[in-house]
Chains A and B, each alone.
Chain A
């Protein structure tokens, strides 16, 4: 289990002003973060740019040390037992870096496998297994510089799995990939978790990806975790549930009064506007009150032109958080 307890990270960097003059600047990237990741689950890390997601991932993967607080992975401290931790974690970042372009896919995997002490038939078998898993068997002996973006990203995934890590950090793994390749990668990530029991920390700007893959999500802002829950609960809690949209030709006094009573009863919000079809009534409620609303319209002798339910997505929730609505 990955356990992050009261972790702070402050970068101290020199900022050059002019000629030989410089000043030291402190940037608080992570402030008092607590989180945990169990093996066999995918945990999402969401936040705006500069929220501290990559810093957190780098600290968990031993590349950065926390300024204070502790991070343990299966009981091993990432600072004191860094070498032991390194053998059970790996990181995959999006984009086209982190590969040797003049080497073939196989040569890249051989090199990175060697760094983890793998060699001989063990390494060969592992490489063949991973290449087939990411669908690169045919391109295995082609230099990476001739790969498409999707192929490079798939090779990155294979590279990140070369040491069969127990915990994997995925930092924007589908960045810039087309829809079908991204979908295949998501399926593969699910397989890693559900079949192989790996613990995965995922950051992504594609919120649908987080919603689809993650068991739990942490939302970071300015280096702090401001919310933590399942994607479904987060959406529900932030956006206050579904939006029921009803179009009617008119609103009489009876309907108006009945709807207001219903809204008050369920602590919901109502917005009335007009569109091409008629009058649009949008009701936002934590509880599903579709039946009651339809019944009220019927009892008020008003015809119903159309009805549809808008289910908010994680993206809506994050936007609301950003706008300070929540």
Chain B
């Protein structure tokens, strides 16, 4: 079956983002990261309820308004960064680690093993991510850890495919042939030429993949598969706020806007790094 390279959607962005856009994205990511590490820098207790100020719209005091318990939505979003980024990053670490391992095994092994492995990567990576993750959760149960592993496992085939394809290309590259001409053995070829050239693009893909992971995490915890209330995880907040949509749109749409901004920033930053990387390679 011809299943041409299907990478996470965002990696397909074809258009060059202007500099100010890249700067804005970098700044936003910096703020998000700081929030995850040190949330009290920007906001107070995310669980402090204030029954006198329930479902109030955005104002100078409550930038994102308050929710049904009178909690500051902005504060909850800031504190939620830790949950959402932790889930995303952990999932990507799993996906990248396992993906590199499986991709290298496929790319370096002989024809039949390679064929079997890459066919499974192909089929799995064309399979809806949400369903793969749900299948895992159905078996392992709900909760943060389960969510992380589910997303990580669902994304493994994507990274495995990229690594396998890259290994395949590098292994046959003329410069590897030339290393043979100098009497280099197989182990030396892999360590000196194949690995560095295969792993080079991985950090960039991981950044873009992180966006995909956060998107998936938000979707799954929106379905109630992730951290449970009152935890201020982004997807869970959007889900909670949905019940008050008819009277207080901000409780769910503003956290959602932050999720979107994070993913856009990751995409823009990833694409920028990718261009830099490719530029260095091809120029």
**Do A and B assemble together?**
no
